[in-house]
């Protein structure tokens, strides 16, 4: 009986030791001292008594003072920006050990751009403490040249998304980039160097995740014997999309006035008697040359290899002009007896109806 109690006690002690070892094998990452690769990032002596919660969340916003040299045929433009970051920590954060550590947001994330010569760049500067949100603010001013990939599939009714972004230097388990809800990204009401016809509609924020080639046990422990699981480092990227649209109807008239005049000219063919066939033929030739010439004018205004809405509209007009010429030839042929198509007014109505129907369908499906 005594041996039975000793055996039972041994099982209890062994089980408790096993549970204790299992609990110690997994690190509870609730503060910076438990971060798997913190020792590789900063030599400061952070202890378990320092309650710096992770991931560190950094609020970001941008303010656009001006945009210049934004043109459809150019792949770059200039922007004058104010960058703003908010964080609960600052440059000289004091630890329990009286050491200091730099947790300023600009040391944890970076703005994505390439430095261009002869343009202005300021350093990140401390800009105050906001008691209502318990965060410090850092600001930076810059004027720089940025790259933009034009999406012209809906040109001239297109909306461009200009990307401006911050990217974390470390894994998402350590740093996350968020949109500032209190200080909304915005722009000046009047941008003196923005080309006429462009207007900023809004600025949209989204967070993207970028996988790097670094492989570390980021999640459950530091090393494999502690329960660590290796994976690729994933970095947070905060992207601001500046939505720019074209304003005003003048661009539509500039691009398509020649094509529509050519189309109207081809419709006038049906108002001339068949006895004046030479006059009808001359008008038709002038209409087709005008429509094709206007298409090349539109193509010269943009450098795009994709099929745009402007191309579809011009191609539709050219098709209708050719259709009108075929109707005119059909009416001239005496062997064909269709009275409806032989009638000039009926042919005109058919041509106009087909054009309006196709144009409406084009706008419904593409815009």
Residues 200 and 341 in one domain: no
Q: Is residue 298 part of a domain?
A: yes
Residues 240 and 109 in one domain: yes
pLDDT at 8 over 60: no
Q: Is residue 3 part of a domain?
A: no
Residues 242 and 254 in one domain: no
Give CA–CA dist 345/325, Å, rounded: 15
Band the pLDDT of 15: cuts 50, 70, 90: very low
Q: For residue 205, what are the β-bridge partners?
A: 240
pLDDT at 259 over 80: yes
Q: Is residue 96 part of a domain?
A: yes
Total domains in the fold of the chain: 2
Q: Which pLDDT score is estimated for 14?
A: 40
Q: Which pLDDT score is estimated for 119?
A: 82
The candidate with the shortest Cα–Cα distance to 81, out of 206, 203, 201, 175, is 203
Percent of the chain with pLDDT over 70: 80
Residues 292 and 219 in one domain: no
Q: Is residue 172 part of a domain?
A: yes
The candidate with the shortest Cα–Cα distance to 112, out of 165, 182, 169, is 165
Q: Is residue 308 part of a domain?
A: yes
Pick the range with the lowest mean pLDDT from 38-42, 97-101, 163-167: 38-42
pLDDT at 226 over 50: no
pLDDT at 250 over 50: yes
CA 363 to chain CA centroid, nearest Å: 24
* 203-222 pLDDT tens trace: 999 999 999 888 776 665 44
Separation of first and last alpha carbons in the chain? 88
Q: Is residue 16 part of a domain?
A: no
Q: Is residue 15 part of a domain?
A: no
**Average per-residue pLDDT in the chain?**
82
Band the pLDDT of 165: cuts 50, 70, 90: very high
Q: Which pLDDT score is estimated for 77?
A: 93
Q: Which pLDDT score is estimated for 78?
A: 93
Give CA–CA dist 292/213, Å, rounded: 52
Q: Answer with the one of 246, 278, 295 that is the final residue of a domain.
A: 246
Q: Answer with the one of 197, 214, 246 that is the final residue of a domain.
A: 246
Kindly tell me the burial class for residue 283, based on how many C-beta atoms sit within 10 Å of its own C-beta (0-12, 13-18, 19 or more). buried
Give CA–CA dist 102/189, Å, rounded: 37
Residues 104 and 238 in one domain: yes
Mean pLDDT of the 233-249 span = 92
* 107-163 pLDDT tens trace: 999 999 887 766 888 999 999 999 888 899 999 999 999 999 999 999 989 999 999
Q: Which pLDDT score is estimated for 236?
A: 94
Residues 236 and 145 in one domain: yes
Residues 224 and 283 in one domain: no
Residues 329 and 279 in one domain: yes
Whether residue 303 contacts residue 74, with contact meaning beta carbons closer than 8 Å, is answered with no
Q: Between the ranges 99-103, 218-222, 357-361, where is the mean pLDDT highest?
A: 357-361
Band the pLDDT of 238: cuts 50, 70, 90: very high
Residues 219 and 254 in one domain: no
Pick the range with the lowest mean pLDDT from 50-54, 60-64, 164-168, 182-186: 50-54
Residues 242 and 259 in one domain: no
Q: Are strands 231-246 and 198-216 parallel, antiparallel or unpaired?
A: antiparallel
Where residue 124 sits, what CATH number does that domain have? 2.70.170.10
Residues 185 and 323 in one domain: no
Q: Which pLDDT score is estimated for 212?
A: 85
* DSSP 8-state secondary structure symbol assigned to residue 75: S
Q: Answer with the one of 184, 214, 246 that is the final residue of a domain.
A: 246
Give CA–CA dist 105/134, Å, rounded: 14
Backbone angles phi, psi at 35, to 5 degrees: -65, 130
Where residue 334 sits, what CATH number does that domain have? 1.20.58
Q: Widest CA span of the chain, in angstroms?
A: 129
Band the pLDDT of 230: cuts 50, 70, 90: confident
Give CA–CA dist 55/49, Å, rounded: 17
Q: Which pLDDT score is estimated for 12?
A: 43
**Residue 242 or residue 226, greater confidence:** 242
Q: Which residues contact 165 (CB under 8 A, 6 or more apart)?
A: 111, 112, 208, 237, 238, 239, 240
**Residue 225 or residue 300, greater confidence:** 300
Band the pLDDT of 25: cuts 50, 70, 90: very low
Residues 273 and 314 in one domain: yes
Q: Is residue 337 part of a domain?
A: yes
* 41-81 pLDDT tens trace: 454 555 554 567 778 899 999 999 999 999 988 889 999 99
- The domain of 137 spans 29-246
């Amino acid at each position: 009986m005594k041996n039975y109690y000793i055996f039972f006690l041994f099982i209890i002690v062994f089980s408790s030791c096993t549970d204790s070892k299992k609990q110690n094998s997994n690190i509870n990452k609730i503060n910076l001292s438990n971060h798997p690769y913190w020792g590789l990032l900063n030599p400061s002596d952070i202890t378990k008594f320092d309650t710096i919660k992770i991931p560190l969340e950094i609020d970001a916003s941008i303010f656009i003072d001006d945009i210049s040299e934004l043109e459809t045929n150019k792949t770059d433009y200039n922007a004058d920006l104010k960058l703003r970051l908010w964080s609960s920590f600052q440059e000289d954060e004091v630890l329990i050990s009286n050491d200091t550590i730099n947790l300023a947001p600009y040391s944890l994330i970076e703005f994505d751009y390439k430095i261009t010569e002869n343009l202005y760049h300021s350093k990140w500067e401390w800009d105050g403490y906001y008691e209502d949100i318990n965060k410090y603010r850092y600001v930076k001013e810059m004027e720089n040249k940025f790259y933009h990939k034009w999406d012209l599939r809906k040109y001239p009714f297109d909306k461009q998304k200009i990307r401006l972004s911050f990217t974390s230097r470390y894994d998402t388990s350590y740093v996350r980039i968020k949109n500032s809800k209190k200080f909304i990204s915005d722009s000046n009401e009047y941008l003196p160097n923005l080309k006429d016809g462009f207007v900023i509609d809004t600025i949209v924020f989204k967070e993207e995740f970028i996988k790097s080639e670094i492989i570390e046990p980021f999640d459950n422990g530091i090393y494999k014997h502690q329960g660590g699981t290796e994976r690729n480092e994933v970095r947070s990227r905060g992207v601001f999309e500046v939505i720019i649209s074209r304003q005003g109807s003048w661009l539509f008239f500039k691009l398509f006035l020649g094509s529509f005049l050519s189309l109207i000219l081809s419709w006038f063919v049906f108002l001339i008697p068949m006895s004046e066939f030479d006059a009808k033929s001359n008008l038709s030739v002038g209409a087709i040359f005008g429509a094709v010439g206007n298409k090349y004018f539109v193509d010269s205004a943009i450098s795009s290899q994709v099929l745009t809405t402007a191309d579809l509209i011009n191609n539709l007009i050219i098709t209708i002009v050719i259709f009108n010429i075929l109707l005119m030839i059909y009416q001239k042929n005496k062997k064909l007896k269709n009275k409806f198509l032989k009638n000039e007014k009926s042919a005109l109505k058919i041509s106009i109806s087909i054009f309006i129907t196709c144009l409406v369908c084009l706008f419904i499906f593409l815009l």
